[in-house]
Amino acid sequence: MGGLSSSCIVLLLVLQASCIAWGSEYNYVDALDKSLMFFEAQRSGKLPQNQRVKWRGDSGLSDGFKQGVDLVGGYYDAGDHVKFGLPMAYSVTMLAWGVIEFRKEIMELDQMGNALAAIKWGADYFIKAHPQPNVLWAQVGDGDSDHYCWERAEDMTTPRTAYKLDTSNHGSDLAGETAAAMAAAAIAFRPYNSSYSDLLLVHSKQLFSFADRFRGLFVDSIPNTKKFYASSGYEDELLWAAAWLYQATREDYYLKYVADNAVSMGGTGWAVKQFSWDNKYAAVQILLSKVLLEGGGGAYTSTLKQYQAKADYFACACQQKNDGYNVPMTAGGLLYINEWNNLQYAASAAFLHAVYSEYLSAANAVLNCPDAQLKPQDLLNFAKSQADYILGKNPKSMSYIVGYGQNYPVHVHHRGASIAPISVLHSPVGCVQGFETWYRLPGKNPNVIYGGLVGGPNKNDEFNDDRANYEQTEPTMSGTAPLLGLFSRLSKINGSPRAGSNHQETPTSNTNSSPS
């Protein structure tokens, strides 16, 4: 009698289960496409003709003019209309890092144009914001006055005050992060536009010198930012900028800088459990581990090994293999750092694991944790677990990327998404009027802000889809930016579907009609 033996059947079932686990359960390509659309929704300035997010219009067209500088452009931070320099620069760095590490995957998915456009929109703004070697315009808008209003960017009536850093008003953290962003962007653009890449490097080098010579926290120079983005230090940004400038130039000066300042700036001292717009140590340690793993340590090998030891600590702690000194996790399997916008930490950690997996794999290396030895595939498995949680493999069976899947947040804390677009509602929405006519409405947002990663669930995997619940429902640039690289890497998984072209500018069942 013909047929398969029982052992063959078991083997096939195991292989089938493996394919499901590593196959098409989630559409990473579609998630990637949508994440890039979010950055188009956050654009400030004169929008291009190829703008895909049609419910947005031109805005902030006089930013900086009162101070005699052109600061038109850049990105709005989250659900508000302040252009905060630190998270914007961090987001551009992360987008560029994704392109650098996963260029081939992004090209195969025909997303390189969109990815570079997202990077360039920020980098062009940074060029404007850096008119002199020791001057950096750090912010446009004031958080307090901006948050007092609920209005579309196209209707803004709030003060658009611009704030700058200079030799009297220091901000090494913000200037350092902007230097890192421009260095990373220079690498991303090198194969396509060498002159633009060169220009970015000029600005990056000048900004790094400015940040290093005139040290201080930017929130001490711009106090009104403290309640929104209170930077905890600037040493990590100086190391971060130097590490990226070394990647961009291969000049020994920058590698020597991270080696000479490894102890004094905490690069080899801090063992951290998070990576975010504020804390760059884990990323510095992993980026410098790449230099070591590629055999480029030279005279700095011993110091780079200390950096790598801290990179390993981060990965081991995330994967619960660090002899008890681990990152907290929810019962549903999500890294949990902070009740406010926790998913940004899960997304950035997943990205770092995807990148570190590549570095270790290329060097045929493993990671020795106190509780286990981890292979590169183990790191990638962890990255996938966090990505899948974000996309719906969680106790709520909810996608936390707006517009992805069938069950995602529809009461997103975002001014533009929650108010009818100017193409439908031509009259301006007043500052306070917006709260009454739109913010407090129980219905869905009239505009889907595709690709925005919201703050996400609490420590009990609970999520309340409420516009007023900004800790959980507000999408941010800094949270969404790591997704480009993360989903690009996961798209290589066998069986991951291609992206569809099913974007809709408004929900099919819009319950918010234009107010009369």
Mind telling me the catalytic residues? 413
Where would I find the beta strands (DSSP E) of 56-166?
83-84, 136-140, 162-165
d(CA 205, CA 179): 7
Query: Do residues 79 and 469 lie in contact, with contact meaning Cβ atoms separated by under 8 Å?
Result: no
User: How many beta carbons lie within 10 A of that of residue 142, not counting itself?
Assistant: 19
Say what the alpha-carbon torsion angle 178, 179, 183, 184 is, to the nearest 10 degrees.
-40
Max distance between CA atoms of the chain, in angstroms, equals 88
- Distance of alpha carbon 192 from the chain centroid: 23
Rounded-to-integer distance, Cα 417 and Cα 386, Å: 26
Angle at 89 between CA 87 and CA 91, to 5 degrees: 65
Q: What is the C-alpha to C-alpha distance for residues 198 and 477, in angstroms, rounded to an integer?
A: 26
Distance CA 205, CA 221 (A): 22
Angle between helices 483-490 and 376-391 (to 10 degrees): 110
Answer yes or no: are the C-beta atoms of 376 and 360 closer than 8 Å: yes
Please name which of 321, 325, 307, 306 lies closest in space to residue 368, comparing C-alpha atoms.
321
